[in-house]
A and B are shown apart, each in its own frame.
Chain A
Amino acid sequence: MERLSVWMVDDDPSVRDALGVFLEIAGFDVLAFESGESFLACPQLGGARPRVLLLDQRLGGGMSGLDVQAELSRRGVSIPIVFITGHGDARMAQAALQQGAASFLEKPFHHKDLLDSIEKAAAQGKR
């Protein structure tokens, strides 16, 4: 069975590591980026596209999660996005949903919710 490819952008190394460990165990191919810039600069973005993108709203450096989302739609790249937000970023998450994000999760989240969200996003991508 083909493993689903999940990419993630989060500036916190421990979060990247934890999600990486869990998603690998849960049976996904994982690719992690520490900033929006490094993700957008990834050459594979144009070809073997990830099936689902886990995108943190607050990122170190210049770009936020919303900026990355806007850039993707500007480039016409369509990837189902699961938005991850910190506490109190609910309004931002609403904006993300309106711009086409599949769902959003508020940190810290239950792993079942994470798996559900990824499944839902992957299904959306197949459509």
Chain B
Amino acid sequence: MNPQVGQAQKPGVPHSARILLLVAGLMGVAMYAADALVEAALHHHGELVDQLIRPDSAVLLIRLGVAGLFLALGWAAYLLLRRERSSAEHLRMAESFLSSVVDNIPDMVFIKDARELRFVRVNPAGERLVGLSADELIGKSDYDFFPEAQADFFTGTDRNVLSSGQVLDIPEEEIDTRHMGCRLLHTKKVPILDKDGRPAFLLGLSEDITERRHAEHAVQVEKARAEHYLEISRSMIVGLDREGRVNLINPRGCEILGWTEAEILGRNWFDTVLPEKIRTRERELARDLLDGHAAPEGVYEGEILTRAGQVRQIAWNLALQRGPKGEVVGTLCSGQDVTDRVMAELAAQRHHQELAHVMRLSTMGEMASGMAHELNQPLTAVVTYCAAAMVLLDREPASQEAVRGTLEKAAEQARRAGDIIRRLRGLVKKGDSTQGLIRVDGMITEAIAFLEWELRQSAIDLELTLNGGDRPVRADPVQIEQVLINLIRNGLDSIRAGAVAGGRIEVETEVTDRATLRLTVRDNGPGIDPYVLSRLFEPFLTTKAKGLGIGLSISRSIIEAHGGSLWGENEPEGGSAFGFELPLAAEEQGGEAERLDGR
């Protein structure tokens, strides 16, 4: 990566020193030979070989001394030269090592001279950062490359450092680079003094912190946004730690609860906010969530207590708070205040009950004359049997058997009258809405009893096909009976209105594969007028002279309040059909049905 970083050379004897040593050796040998040659020529006349090999011992001593002197001189020169060469090598190596260090620092390193603040050195990281090569930079000042305002700032801080002699830390400064636009730097500037203590150079270290700042900024924006969400949310948002202490609450939460954030933070949620009756249950729910035994799914409705002691109904969505390693550290709850909705539902239910009562009264009015007539039958019979008994008693001898038989018949008719009265009272009674497990098939048989006389009066055949089975539905029996009577009476009225001969009403029940009980009432009357059909469930729309027009409308709201649906249509082969579907109660509750079935 860095071309200037070379392999440091191995320390050793330089080549020139070896040559010097060799020359000194050769010179020693040459001096020995030259002296031998001169001696042979001057004194012994050609006895060169003798002079070389067997000289006088004195001569040999001198010769060897001169040669040794040369050799010693050469050796000394060699040693001197070698030491000099070695220290220069060391210096060069040290310099190269430092350069390598500087060049490998991943942050920008630059050196300026203290006098004119011109670049003396810039490392490769610096070159890459500003987008200028060292060659371009060296010898130039900041004013040659950067906008004036930036150059003013750089040189200003340079001068501060040099005049104070102190290291300066600049946490954030902007620099316009050639290739990477404006970058943010964290720079440290260090004065470098000469041996007299005067500033000679300025050393600068700059780290590019642009990415880190951007990331930090993004985190801050994210955090601000999250806080903003918490702030504007119309849901109350509450965080609880593992012990159930509040560790987060938003303004809406404070508004609903009537506590300030400072007051509620750290308090135990269960002890502070939940009504006592549900504390244990809620604690268990929270523990199951924290331990992973339950998943935070769906909406959960529950009550809370405000600081002023008011009960509010909250629909909660739950989530888990997780720590850095993904471990569950608490729960996060988002709650909608649904108190008003729940109150409205209750009011609507009350209203609905009142309307249903009006309908019962109206039905009763329509049925009153029929009921009165029916009541007159057993009463007439009672009176007449009694008259017969009295006549028998006046006879001599009175027949006890005959009197008893007649009175028994009278008593039976009186009981029949009582039954009729009871039924009538059941119809008028308003009664509280009490849900129970009921079997619709049994209920149909009871409802028919109210209508028997009218059906007989109009010579209408009633056919029951009851396949509702044993599975009960959870419902208010009085209301469902009301719907049954209403649907059958509609069929009856339709047949009467159409003056149909051979009137027929079929009542059918079946269990569908949607786990619902389906009831259908078919008549062979003239069917529903198309105009009426489109507005079948509008209240106060009636085709009957005496009707209130609320029967179907209320019947439908009753069935829908029980989670079912009610419909009306014309049959393809004539006549009309009305029916409803109610969800079957869950299987395991079947036992309770035995108790409530008879009603």
Contact = CB atoms under 8 A, between A and B. Distances in A.
Interface residues of A, number: 24
A108 B391 contact: no
A19 B409 CA distance: 12
Given A11-B456, A107-B380, 17 more contacts: A12-B377, A14-B381, A14-B416, A15-B377, A17-B409, A18-B413, A19-B384, A21-B385, A21-B406, A22-B388, A86-B369, A108-B382, A108-B383, A109-B380, A109-B383, A111-B387, A114-B387
Contact of A58 (B373, B387, B392, B410): B373
B170 interface: no
B376 interface: yes
Contacts of B387: 22, 110-111, 114
B459 A21 contact: no
Contacts of A58: 373, 457
Nearest to B406: A21
7 closest A-B pairs (Cβ-Cβ)?
Answer: A111-B387, A18-B384, A86-B373, A107-B376, A18-B381, A22-B388, A108-B379
B378 interface: yes
Nearest to A61: B459
Contacts of B390: 111
Given A14-B413, A22-B388, A88-B369, A62 B459 contact: yes
Contact of A111 (B373, B384, B406, B457): B384
Interface residues of B, number: 27
B285 interface: no
Contacts of A12: 377, 381
A22 B380 contact: no
Given A18-B413, A25-B391, A107 B385 contact: no
A22 B459 contact: no
Contacts of A62: 459
Contacts of B459: 60-62
8 contacts: A14-B409, A18-B409, A22-B385, A25-B391, A60-B456, A87-B369, A87-B372, A87-B375
A20 to B, nearest CB: 9
Nearest to A24: B388
Interface of B: 369, 372-373, 375-385, 387-388, 390-392, 406, 409-410, 413, 416, 456-457, 459
A108 B386 CA distance: 12
A14 B377 contact: yes
A88 B416 contact: no
Interface of A: 11-12, 14-15, 17-19, 21-22, 25-26, 58, 60-62, 86-88, 107-111, 114
Contact of B376 (A22, A60, A86, A114): A86
A87 B373 CA distance: 6
B391 A107 contact: no
A59 B411 CA distance: 24
B420 to A, nearest CB: 12
A62 B385 CA distance: 29
A87 B406 CA distance: 25
Nearest to B459: A61
Given A25-B388, A61-B459, A88-B372, A14 B378 contact: yes
Contacts of B410: 18
Contact of A22 (B377, B391, B456): B391
- Most B-side CB within 10 Å, residue of A25, A58, A61, A62: A25
A60 B457 contact: yes
A11 B373 CA distance: 12
B388 A21 contact: yes
A114 B384 CA distance: 10
Contacts of A11: 456
Contacts of A108: 376, 379-380, 382-384
Contacts of B369: 86-88
B456 to A, nearest CB: 5
B462 to A, nearest CB: 14
Nearest to B377: A12
A87 B380 CA distance: 11
Contacts of B413: 14, 18
B377 A107 contact: yes
Nearest to B371: A87
